[in-house]
Amino acid sequence: MWRLVAVTVIALAARTAAAQPVTGTLRRVAALWTSSQEGEIRQRITQAREQAAAYYQVAMAFLSNNAPTDARFDVFAEAGAGVDARAAAGEGTLGAVFAVRSRRCDLVQVGASLRGDVRSKEPTLLGGAQQWAQLCLSGGLDLGTLMQIKVPGLALFPMVLREGGVLDARPRLTAKRSAIDEPYSDIGFGFDVEGVRYQWRADRGIAGIGFTADQRWRWRGWPGGDDAKVELEGNFWFARLFRLRGEAALADRFVDILVFGFHGIQSDNDAAIVTAWPVRFYGVGFADDRVLVDAELGVGGTGTISSTTSGPGIDDMTTIDSTDLPDITAAIAHVAAHFGDRRGFGSLSYDRTVDTNVLGDVIREDRFTASGQLIDQQWSARGAAFVSRARYYLTETTRADERIAGVSFTGAYGLGHQLSLGVTLEVAVGLIERDPLLEGHALPRGARAYLTLSTTRTLWEY
């Protein structure tokens, strides 16, 4: 009996002695694990602080060149009645816009509007909507704030970011012939950015590597009626010489060197247009700033566009090729002369373009335009007249021609009490008989005329 108790005590003592090193080891491992975790947590907190400080420094560097000057919140409303395609029509719009302004542009702008309209041919109440937002950092990033480098006039990455969408919008009768004969909806985003800008004077400078791009998803009519069409549009320029004129001048001066452009639609039959210009001149002054000239000559035609959209959880490659279309190469041009200033001017221009539309057609258009504008303290008027010749490439073997002329006019008269009476007019007439192949492709001919009453109210201003 005592012998059994002694053996049991000895066994328990041996087991306890053997367990002590294991327990100590576990304690030491737990202490090391806790210390390691604490160090990793501290490291992550330090990294987060450094990233937040870097983002704050970049934000301050942008704000130093794009300081806000004031802010306001406006609401606007418009009601109109008139004639649309030989039918009585009426429409109303209600919207709001919030803007934070800077010296060069609206630093932040967010807006939205709702539209309701009715026509005697379609007695049902119809409607649409629009939404837009913009972040304008056109002053770029100040190196003095970011890196303590004092280089007066030097800025990095001047940019404009934008997004927006429309529901059931109607193209104008006098629009470019690449617009289609039906309402559309779209949603998209885009940006304009320059790599670097240097101004040796307050109004003169040079910029290098500029890129503009927009991507939209478009539907015919309302979303859901068919698959969304992906639309890509933009251009790239290698260098830009510019002169900034005062607010009264018609335009600033830009000379772009080595420019490439693209516009593509991913549709049932894809269509992609690629363009190139060795140099483009805009707003070149003669004698004084009241006579400005634009001039550009390039080449454009069908091709292939590839675009990559990447981000958190996104890695999307879009390739748009020209399918079921002939190989088209044509000269493109823009030549214009402008006389006057913003309060009163006249312009004469010639444009030759090669473009595509949501249906995947290719359109080559020649257009001559005369336009003008007059603005007084109480009233304003703007009008244009044009003559256009266009050829539509509908498939590889099908094409059709169109000749039209048109006029457009908008006028407004201040009635007081923040009310304005306006008139809008659009007319497009054919110079040759319409080809049946263009039904549903080319914009309609006819007239639209509306008499409108509108108001804008500032609800808040700082």
Q: How far apart are CA 300 and CA 401, in angstroms?
A: 19
* Cβ–Cβ < 8 Å for 310, 317: no
pLDDT value of residue 220: 79
CA-to-CA separations, 348 to 80, 332, 345, 369, 384, in angstroms, rounded: 31, 17, 11, 6, 10
Q: How far apart are CA 245 and CA 289, in angstroms?
A: 8
Q: How far apart are CA 269 and CA 271, in angstroms?
A: 7
Return the structure tokens found at 403.
């000749």
pLDDT of 282 strictly over 80? yes
pLDDT of 106 strictly over 60? yes
Return the structure tokens found at 296.
């550009």
DSSP-assigned beta bridge partners for residue 350 = 335, 368
Which region among 317-321, 349-353, 458-462 has the lowest average model confidence (pLDDT)? 317-321
The structure's pTM equals 0.82
Residues 6+ apart with CB under 8 A from 192: 159, 160, 210, 211, 212
Q: How far apart are CA 277 and CA 257, in angstroms?
A: 8
Q: What is the pLDDT of residues 351-392, one digit of tens each?
A: 999 999 888 899 999 999 999 999 998 999 999 999 999 999
More confident position, 142 or 231: 231
Residue 287's pLDDT band (cuts 50, 70, 90): confident
pLDDT of 14 strictly over 50? no
Task: For each of the domains in the chain, give its residue range(s) and CATH number, in order of start.
Answer: 66-461 (2.40.160)
Find which of 137-141, 159-163, 221-225 is predicted with most confidence, using mean pLDDT.
159-163
Q: What is the pLDDT of residues 55-66, one digit of tens each?
A: 777 777 777 778
Nearest to 357 by CA among 193, 216, 248: 216
pLDDT value of residue 25: 59
Instruction: Give 181's DSSP letter.
Output: S
Find which of 39-48, 431-440, 448-457 is predicted with most confidence, using mean pLDDT.
448-457
- Residue bearing tokens 């269509």: 271
pLDDT of 3 strictly over 50? no
Residues 6+ apart with CB under 8 A from 270: 264, 320, 321, 322, 323, 360
pLDDT of 16 strictly over 50? no
What 3-state DSSP class applies to 418? Answer: coil
Once rounded to an integer, what is the mean pLDDT over residues 247-261?
92
